[in-house]
């Protein structure tokens, strides 16, 4: 088998921020992982997530616009952070239900009891403090 | 979601800057009185939204407030970078003075009331 580097197709109409917007509306809650490759209309809802680290914490950041804080479920088990929600929205035209789930693997050694989360402007930030044994330690050479 | 690099000639002072733009997802609803445009702009607060209307062109810009704090190292990065920009062409006259915008939880809600002369009129049969 030969591996060939994938050539990205030239920017199509999907990628260009068109001045005249004649396309169909594309409203969705968030961009999913595969948007850039397959266009924006796949049936899956898996929000994209970022993972960061500093000396004391790991941070996960997920875009979840338009959510209710108390409808977001967070679970951290065996180094896997799972963010999920399901919601039924009642509008004048009827009911629409909506759900998603996203799991991110997080490095080992999170102090589980100190995990906190903040939701602001549609972005969820989960702060996961590192346990004592996983913090960087300065070792002096004698 | 598409990320596109566009040279903006928005002159802040004298320097022209390059910004990365993201075309946000949006949705338009219509009723007898108004159009309702919902644009998803996660990370944009009330202060970061700029809506302008020029002739029939509605221009929406959302600047994200959340910068990655210093000292955070990226372990995995999936979210697209950039601020939001969307141009919509209106084909119905709207009452520009009565446009209302509201931002909550990363969603911009725009109400564009139709101009009086384009609203459907009920005619009573006498």
Q: Is residue A44 part of a domain?
A: yes
Q: Where residue A18 falls among pLDDT bands split at 50, 70, 90?
A: very low
Q: In a 10 Å sphere around its CB, with 0-12 CB exposed, 13-18 middle and 19+ buried, how is residue A50 labelled? A: buried
Q: What is the CATH number of the domain that holds A118?
A: 2.60.40.790
> Closest by alpha carbon to B22, among B94, B83, B78, B65?
B83
B85-110 pLDDT per residue, tens:
999 988 888 888 899 999 998 899 99
Question: Tokens representing A114?
Answer: 């100190």
What is the C-alpha to C-alpha distance for residues A48 and A34, in angstroms, rounded to an integer?
A: 9
pLDDT band at B1 (very low <50, low <70, confident <90, very high): very low
Query: What are the structure tokens assigned to B52, written together?
Result: 């302008």
Most confident among A51-55, A135-139, B30-34, B79-83 (mean pLDDT)? A51-55
Radius of gyration for chain B, computed over Cα atoms and rounded to the nearest angstrom: 18
CA B42 to chain centre: 12
Using pLDDT thresholds of 50, 70 and 90, give the confidence band for residue B2. Answer: very low
- Is residue A31 within 8 A of residue A40, CB to CB? The reply is yes
pLDDT of residue A6: 62
Q: How far apart are CA B107 and CA A30, in angstroms?
A: 10
Which helix (H) or strand (E) segment holds residue A37: the answer is helix A35-38
pLDDT above 60: residue A41:
no
Interatomic CA distance for residues B50 and B45, integer angstroms: 11
A51 forms beta bridges with: A60, B76
From the candidates A25, A35, A56, which should be mutated to test the interface with B, based on the most B CB atoms within 10 A?
A25
Comparing CA positions, the residue from A40, A6, A10, A8 lying closest to residue A23 is: A40
Residues facing residue A119 across a β-bridge: A124
| A90 vs A126 pLDDT, higher one | A126
- A114 belongs to a structural domain: yes
Give the number of domains in chain A.
Answer: 1
Instruction: List chain A residues with CB under 8 Å of B107.
Output: 65-66, 122
Pull the structure tokens for residue A80: 């896997």
**What percentage of chain B carries pLDDT values higher than 90?**
21
Is residue A3 assigned to a domain?
no
Residue of chain B with shortest Cα separation from A65: B106
Parallel, antiparallel, or unpaired: how do β-strands B83-89 and B15-22 relate? Answer: parallel
Whole-complex ipTM? 0.72
Instruction: Please give the residue that has the higher pLDDT: either A14 or A122.
Output: A122
Q: Residue B77 has what pLDDT?
A: 87
Using an 8 Å CB-CB cutoff, list residues of chain B that contact chain A: 1-4, 6, 21, 23, 25-28, 38, 40-45, 65-66, 68-69, 71-80, 85-89, 104-107
CA dihedral B80, A61, B70, A133 (to 10 degrees): -140
User: What is the reported pLDDT for A65?
Assistant: 86
Classify residue A113 by its DSSP letter: G
Give the nearest chain A residue to B103 (CA atoms).
Answer: A121
With respect to residue A65, please indicate whether it lies within any of the assigned structural domains.
yes
Using CB atoms, pick whichever of A15, A61, A123 lies closest to residue B4. Answer: A15
In the DSSP assignment, the letter for residue A67 is -
Establish, for the pair of chains A and B, how many residue pairs have beta carbons separated by less than 8 Å.
129
pLDDT digits (tens, 9 = 90+) for B42-63: 889 888 899 998 888 899 999 9
Residue A141 lies in a domain: no
Ordered structural domains, chain B, with CATH: 19-66+81-114 (2.60.40.790)
Whether the full predicted model's pTM is greater than 0.90, yes or no, is no
A50 assigned to some structural domain: yes
Q: What is the pLDDT of residues A81-95, one digit of tens each?
A: 999 888 777 777 777
At residue A20 the predicted structure's pLDDT band, cuts being 50, 70 and 90, is very low
Structural domain range at position A116: 35-134
Q: What pLDDT shows up at residue B54?
A: 86
Please report whether residue A27 resides in a domain. Answer: no
């Amino acid at each position: 088998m030969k591996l060939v580097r994938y050539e990205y197709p030239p920017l199509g109409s999907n990628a260009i921020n068109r001045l005249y917007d004649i396309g169909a509306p594309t409203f969705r809650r968030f961009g999913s992982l595969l948007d850039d490759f397959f266009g924006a209309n796949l049936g899956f809802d898996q929000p994209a997530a970022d993972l960061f680290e500093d000396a004391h914490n790991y941070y996960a950041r997920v875009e979840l616009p338009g959510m209710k804080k108390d409808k977001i479920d967070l679970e951290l088990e065996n180094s896997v952070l799972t963010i999920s929600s399901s919601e039924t929205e009642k509008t004048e035209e009827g009911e629409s239900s909506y759900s998603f789930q996203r799991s991110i693997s997080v490095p080992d050694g999170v102090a589980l009891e100190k995990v906190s989360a903040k939701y602001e402007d549609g972005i969820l930030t989960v702060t996961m403090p590192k346990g004592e044994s996983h913090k960087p330690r300065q070792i002096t050479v004698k | 979601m598409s990320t596109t690099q566009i040279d903006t000639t928005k002159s802040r002072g004298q320097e022209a800057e390059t910004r990365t733009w993201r075309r946000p997802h949006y949705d338009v609803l219509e009723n007898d009185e108004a159009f309702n445009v919902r644009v998803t702009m996660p990370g944009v607060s009330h202060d970061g939204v700029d809506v302008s209307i020029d002739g029939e062109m509605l221009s929406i810009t959302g600047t994200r407030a959340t910068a990655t704090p210093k000292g955070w190292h990226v372990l995995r990065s999936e979210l697209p970078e950039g601020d939001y920009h969307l141009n919509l062409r209106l084909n119905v006259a709207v009452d520009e003075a009565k446009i209302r915008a509201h931002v909550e939880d990363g969603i911009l809600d725009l109400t564009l009331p139709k101009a009086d002369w384009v609203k459907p009129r009920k005619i009573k049969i006498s």
